[in-house]
Amino acid sequence: MGTLRDAAADAGVRVGAAVDADSLRTDTDYRRTLSSEFDAVVAENAMKWGRLSDGEGCYDFTDADDIVAFANRNDMYVRGHTLVWHRMYPDWLRPWSRSEASARRTLRTHVQTVAGRYRGRVDAWDVVNEAVADDGGLRETQWLASLGPEYLDRAFEWADDVSDADLFYNDYGADGLSAKSDAVYDLVSEMVARDVPIDGVGLQLHVFDETVPPADVAANVERLTELGLTVHVTELDVGIGEAVVDADEQADYYRDVVSAAVDAGAEAVVTWGVDDGQSWLPARGWGEAPLLFDERFRRKPAYHGVADALSK
Protein backbone atom coordinates (compact mmCIF):
# COMPACT_ATOMS: atom_id res chain seq x y z
CA MET A 1 0.00 0.00 0.00
CA GLY A 2 1.18 3.52 -0.74
CA THR A 3 0.98 6.53 1.54
CA LEU A 4 -1.61 9.21 2.13
CA ARG A 5 0.75 11.54 0.32
CA ASP A 6 0.60 9.29 -2.75
CA ALA A 7 -3.18 9.06 -2.61
CA ALA A 8 -3.57 12.82 -2.22
CA ALA A 9 -1.28 13.48 -5.18
CA ASP A 10 -3.37 11.14 -7.32
CA ALA A 11 -6.53 12.93 -6.17
CA GLY A 12 -5.09 16.37 -6.85
CA VAL A 13 -5.45 17.59 -3.24
CA ARG A 14 -3.18 18.25 -0.28
CA VAL A 15 -3.18 16.13 2.86
CA GLY A 16 -1.51 17.57 5.92
CA ALA A 17 -1.12 17.66 9.68
CA ALA A 18 -0.56 20.18 12.44
CA VAL A 19 3.02 20.07 13.69
CA ASP A 20 4.54 20.36 17.15
CA ALA A 21 8.03 21.86 16.92
CA ASP A 22 9.51 19.93 19.88
CA SER A 23 8.30 16.59 18.51
CA LEU A 24 9.66 17.50 15.11
CA ARG A 25 13.12 18.10 16.57
CA THR A 26 13.29 15.17 18.97
CA ASP A 27 11.21 12.27 17.61
CA THR A 28 12.51 10.44 14.54
CA ASP A 29 9.30 8.42 14.12
CA TYR A 30 7.31 11.65 14.17
CA ARG A 31 9.50 13.21 11.48
CA ARG A 32 9.45 10.09 9.34
CA THR A 33 5.68 9.74 9.52
CA LEU A 34 5.11 13.42 8.81
CA SER A 35 7.39 13.60 5.77
CA SER A 36 6.37 10.28 4.23
CA GLU A 37 2.61 10.40 4.79
CA PHE A 38 1.75 14.09 4.40
CA ASP A 39 2.52 16.76 1.84
CA ALA A 40 1.30 19.74 3.88
CA VAL A 41 1.97 21.13 7.35
CA VAL A 42 0.58 23.78 9.66
CA ALA A 43 2.18 24.95 12.88
CA GLU A 44 -0.06 23.85 15.74
CA ASN A 45 1.02 26.70 18.02
CA ALA A 46 4.44 27.96 16.91
CA MET A 47 3.15 30.82 14.75
CA LYS A 48 0.60 32.15 17.22
CA TRP A 49 1.42 35.59 18.57
CA GLY A 50 1.81 34.51 22.17
CA ARG A 51 4.39 31.90 21.21
CA LEU A 52 6.34 34.27 18.99
CA SER A 53 6.65 37.42 21.08
CA ASP A 54 7.53 37.96 24.73
CA GLY A 55 7.93 41.73 24.44
CA GLU A 56 6.80 44.53 22.17
CA GLY A 57 8.94 44.40 19.05
CA CYS A 58 10.66 41.19 20.25
CA TYR A 59 10.17 37.96 18.33
CA ASP A 60 11.62 34.46 18.61
CA PHE A 61 10.96 32.58 15.38
CA THR A 62 12.98 29.46 16.27
CA ASP A 63 10.08 26.99 16.38
CA ALA A 64 8.29 28.47 13.41
CA ASP A 65 11.50 28.57 11.38
CA ASP A 66 12.20 24.91 12.16
CA ILE A 67 8.76 23.85 10.92
CA VAL A 68 9.01 25.89 7.73
CA ALA A 69 12.54 24.67 7.02
CA PHE A 70 11.48 21.03 7.49
CA ALA A 71 8.55 21.52 5.15
CA ASN A 72 10.64 23.27 2.51
CA ARG A 73 13.26 20.49 2.62
CA ASN A 74 10.57 17.85 2.13
CA ASP A 75 8.63 19.66 -0.61
CA MET A 76 5.59 20.23 1.61
CA TYR A 77 2.88 22.88 1.35
CA VAL A 78 2.92 25.25 4.35
CA ARG A 79 -0.16 26.78 5.99
CA GLY A 80 0.64 29.65 8.33
CA HIS A 81 -1.58 29.79 11.43
CA THR A 82 -2.57 32.40 12.56
CA LEU A 83 -1.96 36.15 12.26
CA VAL A 84 -5.02 37.57 14.05
CA TRP A 85 -6.80 35.74 16.86
CA HIS A 86 -8.49 36.76 20.09
CA ARG A 87 -6.58 34.11 22.06
CA MET A 88 -2.93 33.23 22.71
CA TYR A 89 -1.68 36.76 22.39
CA PRO A 90 1.32 37.83 24.49
CA ASP A 91 1.27 39.05 28.06
CA TRP A 92 2.71 42.44 27.11
CA LEU A 93 -0.57 43.23 25.31
CA ARG A 94 -2.50 42.80 28.58
CA PRO A 95 -4.45 44.51 30.05
CA TRP A 96 -6.08 45.81 26.90
CA SER A 97 -6.22 49.61 27.05
CA ARG A 98 -5.10 50.79 23.63
CA SER A 99 -6.33 53.65 21.53
CA GLU A 100 -7.54 53.03 18.00
CA ALA A 101 -4.28 54.37 16.59
CA SER A 102 -2.17 52.21 18.91
CA ALA A 103 -4.20 49.07 18.21
CA ARG A 104 -4.01 49.64 14.46
CA ARG A 105 -0.25 50.18 14.57
CA THR A 106 0.32 47.17 16.82
CA LEU A 107 -1.78 44.80 14.74
CA ARG A 108 -0.40 46.00 11.41
CA THR A 109 3.18 45.65 12.64
CA HIS A 110 2.55 42.10 13.84
CA VAL A 111 0.78 40.95 10.67
CA GLN A 112 3.45 42.38 8.43
CA THR A 113 6.39 41.23 10.55
CA VAL A 114 5.25 37.61 10.57
CA ALA A 115 3.73 37.31 7.09
CA GLY A 116 6.61 39.24 5.55
CA ARG A 117 9.23 37.01 7.14
CA TYR A 118 7.87 33.96 5.36
CA ARG A 119 7.19 35.47 1.95
CA GLY A 120 7.89 32.76 -0.61
CA ARG A 121 8.10 30.02 2.04
CA VAL A 122 4.53 29.91 3.40
CA ASP A 123 1.89 29.02 0.83
CA ALA A 124 -1.26 30.04 2.72
CA TRP A 125 -2.04 32.09 5.83
CA ASP A 126 -4.98 31.87 8.20
CA VAL A 127 -5.08 35.65 8.42
CA VAL A 128 -8.04 35.93 10.79
CA ASN A 129 -9.10 33.06 13.02
CA GLU A 130 -12.49 32.60 14.72
CA ALA A 131 -13.85 36.13 14.37
CA VAL A 132 -17.47 34.93 14.29
CA ALA A 133 -19.14 34.12 17.61
CA ASP A 134 -21.24 31.02 18.11
CA ASP A 135 -24.43 33.11 17.84
CA GLY A 136 -23.39 34.33 14.39
CA GLY A 137 -22.37 37.88 15.25
CA LEU A 138 -18.83 39.18 15.23
CA ARG A 139 -16.97 37.97 18.30
CA GLU A 140 -16.33 40.63 20.96
CA THR A 141 -12.55 40.87 20.84
CA GLN A 142 -9.90 43.48 21.58
CA TRP A 143 -9.60 44.12 17.86
CA LEU A 144 -13.32 44.66 17.33
CA ALA A 145 -13.48 46.95 20.36
CA SER A 146 -10.59 49.12 19.20
CA LEU A 147 -10.91 49.07 15.41
CA GLY A 148 -14.47 48.02 14.67
CA PRO A 149 -15.43 45.44 12.03
CA GLU A 150 -12.95 46.91 9.54
CA TYR A 151 -10.09 45.18 11.35
CA LEU A 152 -10.79 42.06 9.29
CA ASP A 153 -10.41 43.89 5.99
CA ARG A 154 -7.30 45.69 7.17
CA ALA A 155 -5.64 42.47 8.36
CA PHE A 156 -6.06 40.90 4.92
CA GLU A 157 -4.81 44.04 3.20
CA TRP A 158 -1.76 44.28 5.46
CA ALA A 159 -0.93 40.62 4.85
CA ASP A 160 -1.39 41.03 1.12
CA ASP A 161 1.06 43.93 1.10
CA VAL A 162 3.95 41.73 2.28
CA SER A 163 3.04 38.16 1.33
CA ASP A 164 2.52 36.17 -1.85
CA ALA A 165 0.59 33.46 0.04
CA ASP A 166 -3.10 32.68 -0.36
CA LEU A 167 -5.02 34.40 2.42
CA PHE A 168 -7.71 32.54 4.40
CA TYR A 169 -10.40 33.17 6.96
CA ASN A 170 -10.53 30.17 9.37
CA ASP A 171 -13.21 29.11 11.88
CA TYR A 172 -14.78 26.24 13.81
CA GLY A 173 -18.43 25.27 13.90
CA ALA A 174 -18.93 26.57 10.37
CA ASP A 175 -18.22 23.27 8.66
CA GLY A 176 -21.72 22.12 7.74
CA LEU A 177 -24.97 24.06 7.41
CA SER A 178 -25.86 26.10 10.49
CA ALA A 179 -26.51 29.63 11.67
CA LYS A 180 -22.79 30.07 12.26
CA SER A 181 -21.77 28.72 8.85
CA ASP A 182 -24.34 31.08 7.31
CA ALA A 183 -22.74 33.96 9.21
CA VAL A 184 -19.27 32.97 8.00
CA TYR A 185 -20.58 32.67 4.45
CA ASP A 186 -22.12 36.15 4.70
CA LEU A 187 -18.91 37.56 6.17
CA VAL A 188 -16.61 36.25 3.44
CA SER A 189 -19.06 36.93 0.60
CA GLU A 190 -19.23 40.56 1.70
CA MET A 191 -15.44 40.68 1.84
CA VAL A 192 -15.29 39.34 -1.71
CA ALA A 193 -17.82 41.99 -2.79
CA ARG A 194 -15.61 44.70 -1.24
CA ASP A 195 -12.55 43.38 -3.13
CA VAL A 196 -10.79 42.45 0.10
CA PRO A 197 -7.80 40.21 -0.85
CA ILE A 198 -9.27 37.02 0.62
CA ASP A 199 -8.49 33.81 -1.27
CA GLY A 200 -10.03 31.08 0.83
CA VAL A 201 -11.89 29.74 3.85
CA GLY A 202 -10.65 27.17 6.34
CA LEU A 203 -13.20 24.83 7.91
CA GLN A 204 -11.76 23.40 11.12
CA LEU A 205 -14.04 20.34 11.48
CA HIS A 206 -13.22 19.30 15.04
CA VAL A 207 -15.63 16.42 15.76
CA PHE A 208 -16.12 15.29 19.35
CA ASP A 209 -19.69 15.76 20.62
CA GLU A 210 -21.65 15.10 17.44
CA THR A 211 -20.83 14.47 13.81
CA VAL A 212 -21.41 17.04 11.10
CA PRO A 213 -23.38 15.42 8.25
CA PRO A 214 -21.00 14.93 5.31
CA ALA A 215 -23.70 16.12 2.90
CA ASP A 216 -23.87 19.42 4.80
CA VAL A 217 -20.09 19.77 4.63
CA ALA A 218 -20.27 19.23 0.87
CA ALA A 219 -23.03 21.81 0.46
CA ASN A 220 -21.05 24.36 2.45
CA VAL A 221 -17.86 23.73 0.46
CA GLU A 222 -19.80 24.12 -2.78
CA ARG A 223 -21.34 27.47 -1.87
CA LEU A 224 -17.99 28.85 -0.73
CA THR A 225 -16.23 27.72 -3.90
CA GLU A 226 -19.00 29.35 -5.93
CA LEU A 227 -17.80 32.65 -4.46
CA GLY A 228 -14.45 31.97 -6.11
CA LEU A 229 -12.82 31.01 -2.81
CA THR A 230 -10.55 28.06 -2.14
CA VAL A 231 -11.70 25.78 0.70
CA HIS A 232 -9.41 23.80 3.00
CA VAL A 233 -10.43 21.47 5.82
CA THR A 234 -7.90 22.77 8.31
CA GLU A 235 -8.13 21.10 11.73
CA LEU A 236 -9.84 17.74 11.29
CA ASP A 237 -9.99 15.30 14.22
CA VAL A 238 -12.68 12.84 15.26
CA GLY A 239 -12.73 11.83 18.92
CA ILE A 240 -14.09 8.41 19.89
CA GLY A 241 -16.78 8.90 22.51
CA GLU A 242 -19.96 10.86 21.96
CA ALA A 243 -19.57 11.52 18.23
CA VAL A 244 -18.43 8.04 17.16
CA VAL A 245 -18.46 4.97 19.35
CA ASP A 246 -15.44 3.00 18.17
CA ALA A 247 -12.54 2.85 15.72
CA ASP A 248 -14.66 1.37 12.93
CA GLU A 249 -17.30 4.07 13.15
CA GLN A 250 -14.51 6.65 13.33
CA ALA A 251 -13.00 5.24 10.12
CA ASP A 252 -16.35 5.31 8.36
CA TYR A 253 -16.89 8.94 9.31
CA TYR A 254 -13.40 9.98 8.22
CA ARG A 255 -14.02 8.25 4.89
CA ASP A 256 -17.42 9.83 4.36
CA VAL A 257 -16.56 13.38 5.40
CA VAL A 258 -13.24 13.57 3.55
CA SER A 259 -14.86 12.12 0.44
CA ALA A 260 -17.72 14.62 0.65
CA ALA A 261 -15.42 17.61 1.16
CA VAL A 262 -13.00 16.66 -1.62
CA ASP A 263 -15.74 15.76 -4.09
CA ALA A 264 -17.34 19.15 -3.41
CA GLY A 265 -14.10 20.98 -4.18
CA ALA A 266 -11.99 21.20 -1.01
CA GLU A 267 -8.35 21.41 -2.06
CA ALA A 268 -6.68 20.36 1.20
CA VAL A 269 -7.47 18.19 4.22
CA VAL A 270 -5.35 18.80 7.33
CA THR A 271 -5.65 16.82 10.56
CA TRP A 272 -4.99 18.60 13.85
CA GLY A 273 -1.95 16.55 14.79
CA VAL A 274 -0.03 13.54 13.53
CA ASP A 275 -0.67 10.86 16.17
CA ASP A 276 -3.06 10.20 19.04
CA GLY A 277 -0.34 10.83 21.60
CA GLN A 278 -0.12 14.48 20.55
CA SER A 279 -3.84 15.26 20.29
CA TRP A 280 -5.41 18.04 22.35
CA LEU A 281 -8.88 16.44 22.55
CA PRO A 282 -8.43 13.68 25.18
CA ALA A 283 -7.02 16.05 27.79
CA ARG A 284 -10.19 18.14 27.50
CA GLY A 285 -12.47 15.11 27.74
CA TRP A 286 -13.55 15.57 24.13
CA GLY A 287 -13.03 12.03 22.89
CA GLU A 288 -10.21 9.54 22.62
CA ALA A 289 -7.79 8.48 19.89
CA PRO A 290 -8.94 11.10 17.36
CA LEU A 291 -6.21 10.96 14.70
CA LEU A 292 -5.00 8.68 11.89
CA PHE A 293 -1.97 7.18 13.69
CA ASP A 294 -1.78 5.72 17.19
CA GLU A 295 0.87 6.67 19.76
CA ARG A 296 3.35 4.31 18.09
CA PHE A 297 2.66 5.81 14.66
CA ARG A 298 0.83 2.73 13.43
CA ARG A 299 -1.86 3.24 10.81
CA LYS A 300 -5.37 3.04 12.27
CA PRO A 301 -8.67 2.19 10.58
CA ALA A 302 -9.19 5.97 10.36
CA TYR A 303 -6.06 6.17 8.22
CA HIS A 304 -7.47 3.65 5.79
CA GLY A 305 -10.77 5.54 5.74
CA VAL A 306 -9.00 8.69 4.56
CA ALA A 307 -6.86 6.72 2.11
CA ASP A 308 -10.01 5.17 0.65
CA ALA A 309 -11.64 8.59 0.31
CA LEU A 310 -8.64 9.95 -1.58
CA SER A 311 -8.16 6.86 -3.75
CA LYS A 312 -11.63 6.35 -5.17
Express each pLDDT in 52-80 by its tens digit. Answer: 998 888 999 999 999 999 999 999 999 99
Give the pLDDT band of residue 94 (cuts 50, 70, 90).
Answer: confident
Q: Which of 37, 44, 130, 267 is catalytic?
A: 130
pTM: 0.97
Q: Which of 37, 44, 235, 267 is catalytic?
A: 235
| Catalytic residue status for 210 | no
Q: Angle at Cα 260 formed by Cα 216 and Cα 164, nearest 5°?
A: 95
What are the residues whose beta carbons fall under 8 Å from the beta carbon of 99, sequence distance 6 or more?
Answer: 146
Encode burial over 253-286: b for 16+ CB neighbours within 10 A, e otherwise: bbbbbbbbbbebbbbbbbbbbbbbbbbbbbeeeb
pLDDT of the residue at 57: 86
What are the residues whose beta carbons fall under 8 Å from the beta carbon of 271, sequence distance 6 or more?
Answer: 16, 17, 18, 235, 236, 237, 291, 292
- CA pair distance 192, 212, nearest whole angstrom: 26
For the chain, domains (ranges, CATH) are 4-311 (3.20.20.80)
| Catalytic residue status for 130 | yes
| Average of per-residue pLDDT values in the chain | 96
pLDDT of the residue at 191: 98
SS3 293: strand
Contact 156, 198 (CB under 8 A): yes
Contact 122, 61 (CB under 8 A): no
